[in-house]
A and B are shown apart, each in its own frame.
Chain A
Amino acid sequence: MAFIEIEGLTKKYGEAVYALRSFSLEVAKGEWLAVMGPSGSGKSTLLNILGCLDSPTEGRVAIDGEDLGGLGPAELARFRAEKVGFIFQQFHLVPYLTALENVMLAQYFHSLAEEQEAAEALRRVGLGDRLHHLPSQLSGGEQQRVCVARALINQPNLILADEPTGNLDEVNETIVMGLFTELHREGHTIVMVTHDAEIGRMTERRIELHHGRLADVSDFPAREEELIDNLLKAVWHAQEDTGKTVLAVEALPEFVPNRATFLLMAQEELIRLDGGSLALTAYGEPRAREIIRRHRLAERLFFDTFGLEAGLLDANACRIEHTLGFEVTEKLCKFLKHPETCPHGSPIPRGACCLRK
């Protein structure tokens, strides 16, 4: 049985306005799902229904085996308090309560307000020295982190995030998405609405809504690996160009549009992100070297053997580099007689076969 079961969900306003139309979906326990789509596609409506803030016109929604349609208003409030954690784009902290009290408020509606537990939740999100600050005294990222702490304080089964980084700058976005990655690793089920494709790439699965209907479902693993390889290449190139192993992130044009993936690579320990600097790790460097080797050997093959023009080498090499396995790469290197540079003059990293030569 799926953790979230949605069958034939329809939400209609008036006679002709459909926010959701015959929408069906299953979400597994511990899954991180991104809900994407243009404005008015029904993303927030879906989130509100899952969070018991709204009720469907038709259809069935069950969370953790509980049919939400059979619950009355008081039971829905109880369900929200016990099983759902909300994270809003606008933060929606109570402005006259401190960070600590905002988290305790969520505890209060659940059962009891335990100050120490709330303080620990805030320390976990890096706000241990901001407990008694009012929201007006916190930055946007800090406020969103308070929201994350508030959403988690009652150990909810389901975390619903509506554009959690929509109002944040890149630095705070990275911090908050790091928290989400951690939550996912801990096994929380997360349904997140986002407009940002880069943020969406961090999730396990992405669904796209159009006019209230499910338009697309995609998983990332294969494409994610290709992207990581490309970004490792970019880092390698930047290191070659600057002669530095530690790079400033501003010096890497690929960083900003792929910041979430870089964060993921940092989580996977392929790179090290330290403040505003970036470097390959001992684990990421061999992978980067291998992809560079495959790419440049392919270029050399196209140039020397097929006589391909220089301008077409890079694109064609990119197409095949991910398909070349280790043995084929070694054979190719041997075939090309262990070339030392690519046609553009960049050095080709040495392989085991080159050392045996």
Chain B
Amino acid sequence: MSNRPAAQAGKRRSLFWRVWLRSLVVKRPQAALAMGSLLVGAAVAAALLNLYGDVRHKMTQEFRAYGANVILSPAVTPGASSALTVMDDDIVWRLQEIGRQMRGLTFAPQLHVVAQLKPVPADPRLPEFQNVVAVGTDFAALRALYPGWRIQAAKEVGALGPDECVLGAHVAGRLHLAAGGTLELEAASGAPHSTMASRSAFRIAGVLSTGGAEDDRVFLELGSLQRLAGLEGKVSLVELNLPGERAEIERGVQGLVRSLPGVDVRPVHQIVESQGRVLATIRWLAISLTALILVIIGLCVMATMTAIVLERRKDIAVMKALGASDRLVMRLFLSEGAGLGLVGGMAGFALGALLARELARRLFDVSLGLSWWTLPVVVLMSVLLAGASTLFPVRIVRGVEPAVVLKGE
């Protein structure tokens, strides 16, 4: 007895879905057209969303190849000598702590010192020495920041040993030096009020060619240059790459500012803004295309549903004559539309995922991972689109007068 209302409600729902299914089956061509339209819309949306999501991730990774997007340098205090702009290298440990919380953070500390470079052995045809900027750094970390750098070497160059160096291509060319050769560096002491200089020989592990200022520099292991210049425990700057898009980078910058007092944190605006512009362009392109296609699909579904409702005016009139309210009949048609949206959305998602994979392979030569979050988004969008497109046609139900439609012959 207590289950009777539930059983009755179940029977009502059962007949409702039987009528719903039969209505669609009897209007198979129109239903198929509407569902096909929704499937196309869902496929396009799924493909673009999946592509955008993955492209965004891949673009972010690609932009990392452009190098550091943030530079840390000693904060300039008023009255301080501009000749000695270094900071303690304990910033490295602090950045490592920060890096544990900020996935994807890469950085390379650097000490820049002007030094005299002499080839070994000396060549009487060439200048005795050349002033160069010597950069002491974690060369492996620097290579991670600039994966596009090309190094001519006998073997892969990673971290540099204490007596190894990498020479810029311009310097190597001027002094007729090559990988495997030897050079000598003499740097003036960087310690305050010190006039001592020290000298040391280094084996050329490789010749670096970037097309930029690095071609005029020589790179050493950080500790070696610190000892050579008498600047133990000091660095001139730290180059960082913060992961993510513009907003994330800016948040990261703010975090660094708070975490590193006394350090000047400067984002490299050209890189950050370029990345933001490119991704924004892709995003708006994807949204605009999707929106345009969905509008067209919506109009197509609206036209089809209008035809379905008009063709079934007599059925509507009979239902009303039997006591159906306008709301009940409208609900039947809205359910038909939503059902088509659900089926079209799911089928469209599957097709769109395949399309996205194929496009990624052909256009970007990458394998695309499926973003499963797009499934409920696409299906919901399809259902809502179908429902919205059906809202106008179902208003026809209100205007159906049984007395007129069912009259006579």
Contacts and interface: CB of A to CB of B under 8 A. Distances in A.
B399 to A, nearest CB: 12
A73 B326 CA distance: 9
Contact of A80 (B11, B323, B401): B323
A95 B408 CA distance: 18
B402 A53 contact: yes
A139 to B, nearest CB: 19
Contact of A82 (B19, B320, B323): B323
A233 B171 CA distance: 137
Interface in B17-43: 18-19, 22-23, 25-26
A81 B322 contact: yes
B314 interface: yes
Q: Which of B12, B314, B327 has the most CB of A within 10 A?
A: B12
B2 interface: no
B322 to A, nearest CB: 5
Interface string A79-109: 1111010101110111111000100111011
A250 interface: no
A150 interface: yes
Given A92-B406, A96-B26, A97-B22, A112 B12 contact: yes
Contacts of B315: 94
Contacts of A94: 315, 318-319
A110 B328 CA distance: 12
B324 A109 contact: yes
A48 B322 CA distance: 12
A44 B404 CA distance: 11
Given A96-B23, A101-B15, A101-B18, A81 B323 contact: yes
Interface in B356-409: 401-403, 406-409
Interface string B153-184: 00000000000000000000000000000000
A113 B403 contact: no
B321 interface: yes
Interface string A111-148: 11111000000000000000000000000000000000
A26 B314 CA distance: 32
A96 B22 contact: yes
A230 B407 CA distance: 38
B8 interface: yes
A74 interface: yes
A88 B402 CA distance: 12
Contacts of B318: 92-94
B68 to A, nearest CB: 69
A62 interface: no
A86 B26 contact: no
Contacts of A89: 408
B321 A78 contact: no
A78 B323 contact: yes
A105 B403 contact: no
Interface residues of A, number: 37
B281 interface: no
A77 interface: yes
B408 A44 contact: yes
A314 interface: no
Contacts of B15: 101, 104-105, 108, 113
Contacts of A198: none
A112 B22 contact: no
A51 interface: yes
Given A48-B403, A53-B402, A113-B14, A105 B322 contact: yes
A95 B325 contact: no
A54 interface: yes
B125 to A, nearest CB: 100
Contact of A74 (B16, B25, B325): B325
Contacts of A96: 22-23, 25-26
B321 A114 contact: no
Contact of A112 (B8, B18, B321, B328): B8
Contacts of A108: 12, 15-16
Contact of A95 (B11, B26, B317, B319): B26
B383 to A, nearest CB: 24
Contact of B8 (A44, A48, A104, A111): A111
A275 to B, nearest CB: 32
Q: Which of B23, B314, B322, B326 has the most CB of A within 10 A?
A: B322
B182 to A, nearest CB: 93
B321 A86 contact: yes
6 contacts: A51-B321, A73-B326, A80-B320, A81-B323, A101-B22, A113-B11
Given A105-B319, A109-B324, 9 more contacts: A53-B401, A53-B402, A77-B323, A78-B325, A81-B324, A93-B318, A105-B15, A108-B16, A113-B11
Interface of B: 8, 11-12, 14-16, 18-19, 22-23, 25-26, 314-315, 317-328, 401-403, 406-409
